[in-house]
A and B are shown apart, each in its own frame.
Chain A
Amino acid sequence: MPDVNMPKLSDTMEEGKILRWLKKPGERVAIGDILAEVETDKANMELEAYDEGVLSEVRVKEGESAPVGAVIAVLAGADDVKPAARLASRPEPAPAPARAEPRPESGREPWRPTVVRRPEAAAEPEGGEAIKASPRARRIAREHEIDLRSLRGTGPGGRIVEKDVEGAIAAGGAAPKKEAETVSAPEAPPRGERRMELSRVRRTTAKRMSESKREVPHFYASSDIRMDEAVRLKATLADLGGEFEGITFTHLVLKAVGIALTRVPEVNASYDGDAIVLHDTVHVGIATAVETGLIVPVVHDCDRQPLGALVRQARALVERARAGRFESGDLIGGTFTLSNLGMYPVSTFAAVINPPQAAILAVGAIRDVPVVEGSHVVPGRLMTVTLSCDHRIIDGVIAGRFLAELSGLLTRPLALVV
């Protein structure tokens, strides 16, 4: 197992930074292949492989530094690999990368729980005996249609805690893939009707949306936002690639929403009977269409993360969502939701609030329209957004202040990058 070491590129070099890996764990490496780019001072060095084999482990992540001589990766030599592969009778002889999942949030309260009492949730299950579960575990289980009776609690006295429910979700409790075939063929469908069994995702959506419209008094406020500069900004960032590769208007709006929510925190809230719960964190869900229905993966810390990081996180999240491979935490903790239909010829629409959140933003397409500037009519690009609000805790004035902030941020979008 030859080690790959941080190269000494200079007598005065003490450590180097891995700018990027050009080979991924599991990939075959030939002598002379470029493994990585290493930076020291203002020089970038392409790091070549001096051995052949399979890159089995990457020990220093992109953006991190390591001292000269430190092992930054391990190559499984061709000889090491083949017998093991035969034993395991797997075509891909790559050992699993021993990369710890980054936990950027550790040490910080990730999300203040919102306690929303709802009679049906508090009701005892039929069976008589009470299930011991934390309120938060109950809420998450309800949101994902996980039957608490199917779980074994790991909390004190066998109490079901959040972790148990998340584990069940991650283990496929809410994975829509299994329900990909939603078309069932019952006995002789009458007169060209087809009965489509609802997927679990669809059933959850149906239940929650009816609940929301029944219980939450919605009102709507719209705003036309000049997007001329945002259009240019997006084009520039897209050309730039790197962390901005694949940037969309959703990402720009996401960042703007994140900042606007910190400026008007009343919108980043939940109704809780006799109290308004204001959330300290800004976690924004993106309504995402998947084969089986609608799901809302959550982008965390939209206010604090720089735009590039948001783009990366949001893209990875939506990709996992579409593939039906969620990681624990992908679908929970949202404090606000964004629904963008701008890729269709939809100029304006109003979305249904995703409880217990207090508001949702519906984003329409950017249109070329004549706008008045001073005494002239000039071509401009407008995007209409509509905020749906829970009137129990949000008044029109608050909606207006939020839209003013959002409009300002998108009209002069520099603040989204700097």
Chain B
Amino acid sequence: MTRVLEVGLAGRVGYDVALAWQERLVARRLAGGADVLLLLEHDPVYTLGRSADARHLGAAVLGDVPVRRVGRGGQVTYHGPGQLIGYPVVALAAQGRDVHRYLRSLEDVLIAALRTFDIRSERRPGFTGVWVGSRKIASIGVAVRRWVAWHGFALNVGRDLDGFLPITPCGISGVAMTSVGREGGPEDVARVIPAVVSCFVEVFSYETTRPLDADVRMEPWPAPS
């Protein structure tokens, strides 16, 4: 059977809407549908993993940006414009039913994609995510339902990282964030997408891709300026 990845480019989407899409795509995958890579940008939002310490929200609790408690692993993070969000809905049965290996594979995808922009990044044992030196460029947190993974990764692309200022990202105090733009790569989310998709296909060994065929509302990305 050909391994197909359906790719959805959803543009800018509110967190709650994207969450509802994911729920539907997980149900569709459990019913025998294809694996999906949903790529989008979020309106500003702070999210906390189930076990996150709300104290890491810091001053964000006082701001106008909404805060959401979500069912993924991990701590507190920020999502907003200028960040590429990837929500892969993937059956782990075909990947060896190993959630740690899946997390490491997501890191591999982003490390490979960054390499195409001449950015050297790496993983740090014990600190899931992708790092450029001591600065964090991408966060990862997933949830697994009946061996179908959802939630995913957030890759900082634009130079503006102010959204992270009030919080203690990932529960690690003193962690500095960086972005593709700040490390000398493109500052536009749309320009990063092709590399991320092709590295995702390669790392997870899909044979073919096609546009997402699901009844989720999709708005095309604005053309890169």
A, B in one complex: yes
Q: Residues on A close to B: CB < 8 A? A: 9-13, 17, 19-20, 37, 39-46, 48, 63, 229, 232-233, 236-237, 239-244, 306-308, 413-414, 417-418
How would you classify the secondary structure of chain B's contact residues: helix, strand, loop or mixed?
Answer: mixed
Q: Which of A43, A48, A417 contacts B142 (CB 8 A)?
A: A43
Nearest B residue to A9 via CB reads B99
Instruction: Contact check, A418 vs B50: say whether CB atoms are below 8 A apart.
Output: no
CB distance from B49 to the nearest CB of A (A): 7
CB distance from A264 to the nearest CB of B (A): 24
Q: Give the residues in chain B near A239, CB-CB below 8 Å.
A: 66-68
Cα–Cα distance between A236 and B144 once the two chains are bound (Å): 28
Q: Which of B50, B57, B68, B146 contacts A37 (CB 8 A)?
A: B50
Q: State whether the Cβ of B48 lies closer than 8 Å to any Cβ in chain A.
A: yes
Cα–Cα distance between A167 and B55 once the two chains are bound (Å): 38
Instruction: Contact check, B143 vs A43: say whether CB atoms are below 8 A apart.
Output: yes
CB distance from A61 to the nearest CB of B (A): 13
Chain B 205-218 per-residue mask, 1 if CB under 8 angstroms from chain A, else 0: 00000000000000
Instruction: Contact check, B54 vs A308: say whether CB atoms are below 8 A apart.
Output: yes
Interface size class of B (residues with CB under 8 A): 35 or more
A-B contact count (CB 8 A): 110
Chain B 30-70 per-residue mask, 1 if CB under 8 angstroms from chain A, else 0: 00000000000000000011110011011101100011110
Would you list 24 pairs from A and B whose C-beta atoms are within 8 A, ordered by A residue?
A37-B50, A39-B73, A40-B73, A40-B100, A41-B99, A41-B128, A42-B49, A42-B72, A42-B73, A43-B72, A43-B73, A43-B99, A43-B100, A43-B149, A44-B49, A239-B67, A240-B69, A242-B69, A243-B54, A306-B55, A414-B62, A417-B54, A417-B55, A418-B55
Q: Give the residues in chain A near B67, CB-CB below 8 Å.
A: 236, 239-240
Cα–Cα distance between A45 and B147 once the two chains are bound (Å): 8
CB distance from A95 to the nearest CB of B (A): 29
Q: Give the residues in chain A near B21, CB-CB below 8 Å.
A: none
Cα–Cα distance between A267 and B51 once the two chains are bound (Å): 36
Q: Give the residues in chain B near A44, CB-CB below 8 Å.
A: 49-50, 71-73, 142-144
Give me the 4 closest cross-chain CB pairs, A-B, nearest first.
A10-B100, A42-B73, A43-B99, A42-B128
Cα–Cα distance between A13 and B57 once the two chains are bound (Å): 29
Q: State whether the Cβ of B169 lies closer than 8 Å to any Cβ in chain A.
A: no
Cα–Cα distance between A290 and B113 once the two chains are bound (Å): 63
Q: Give the residues in chain B near A19, CB-CB below 8 Å.
A: 50-51
CB distance from A31 to the nearest CB of B (A): 12
Q: State whether the Cβ of B80 lies closer than 8 Å to any Cβ in chain A.
A: no
Q: Which of A63, A233, A414 contacts B51 (CB 8 A)?
A: A63
Instruction: Contact check, B103 vs A17: say whether CB atoms are below 8 A apart.
Output: no
CB distance from A20 to the nearest CB of B (A): 7
CB distance from A313 to the nearest CB of B (A): 16
Instruction: Contact check, A233 vs B100: say whether CB atoms are below 8 A apart.
Output: no
Cα–Cα distance between A20 and B71 once the two chains are bound (Å): 11
Instruction: Contact check, A9 vs B59: say whether CB atoms are below 8 A apart.
Output: no
Q: State whether the Cβ of B88 lies closer than 8 Å to any Cβ in chain A.
A: no
Q: State whether the Cβ of B145 lies closer than 8 Å to any Cβ in chain A.
A: yes
Q: Give the residues in chain A near B66, CB-CB below 8 Å.
A: 239
Q: Give the residues in chain B near A306, CB-CB below 8 Å.
A: 55
Instruction: Contact check, A45 vs B144: say whether CB atoms are below 8 A apart.
Output: yes
Q: Which of A11, A232, A237 contacts B100 (CB 8 A)?
A: A11
Nearest A residue to B166 via CB reads A414
CB distance from A282 to the nearest CB of B (A): 19
Instruction: Contact check, A43 vs B102: say whether CB atoms are below 8 A apart.
Output: yes
Q: Give the residues in chain A near B50, CB-CB below 8 Å.
A: 19-20, 37, 39, 44, 242
Instruction: Contact check, B54 vs A240: say whether CB atoms are below 8 A apart.
Output: yes
Cα–Cα distance between A402 and B4 once the two chains are bound (Å): 66
Q: Given known contacts A44-B73, A232-B62, A241-B69, is B99 in contact with A417 (CB within 8 Å)?
A: no
Q: Give the residues in chain A near B149, CB-CB below 8 Å.
A: 43
Nearest A residue to B146 via CB reads A48
Q: Which of B61, B74, B146 contacts A233 (CB 8 A)?
A: B61
Cα–Cα distance between A236 and B67 once the two chains are bound (Å): 7
Cα–Cα distance between A13 and B146 once the two chains are bound (Å): 18
Q: Give the residues in chain A near B158, CB-CB below 8 Å.
A: none
Known pairs A11-B101, A42-B140, A43-B142; list 14 more (Cβ under 8 Å): A9-B97, A9-B100, A13-B99, A39-B73, A40-B100, A44-B142, A45-B99, A46-B143, A237-B54, A240-B48, A240-B69, A242-B69, A306-B55, A308-B54
CB distance from A105 to the nearest CB of B (A): 22
Nearest B residue to A10 via CB reads B100
Nearest B residue to A48 via CB reads B146
Q: In B132-156, which residues have CB < 8 Å from any A CB?
A: 140-146, 149
Q: Which of A11, A63, A236, A414 contacts B98 (CB 8 A)?
A: A11
CB distance from B18 to the nearest CB of A (A): 17
Q: Which of A12, A43, A232, A244 contacts B54 (CB 8 A)?
A: A244
- Which of B54, B101, B102 has the largest number of chain A CB atoms within 10 A? B54
CB distance from A399 to the nearest CB of B (A): 29
Q: Give the residues in chain B near A63, CB-CB below 8 Å.
A: 51
Q: Give the residues in chain B near A39, CB-CB below 8 Å.
A: 50-51, 73
Instruction: Contact check, A13 vs B100: say whether CB atoms are below 8 A apart.
Output: yes
Q: Give the residues in chain B near A413, CB-CB below 8 Å.
A: 62
Instruction: Contact check, B62 vs A43: say whether CB atoms are below 8 A apart.
Output: no
Nearest A residue to B71 via CB reads A44
CB distance from A252 to the nearest CB of B (A): 12
Cα–Cα distance between A418 and B167 once the two chains are bound (Å): 11
Chain B 98-117 per-residue mask, 1 if CB under 8 angstroms from chain A, else 0: 11111100000000000000
Cα–Cα distance between A44 and B102 once the two chains are bound (Å): 12
Instruction: Contact check, A417 vs B103: say whether CB atoms are below 8 A apart.
Output: no
- Which of B49, B51, B101, B102 has the largest number of chain A CB atoms within 10 A? B51
CB distance from B172 to the nearest CB of A (A): 12
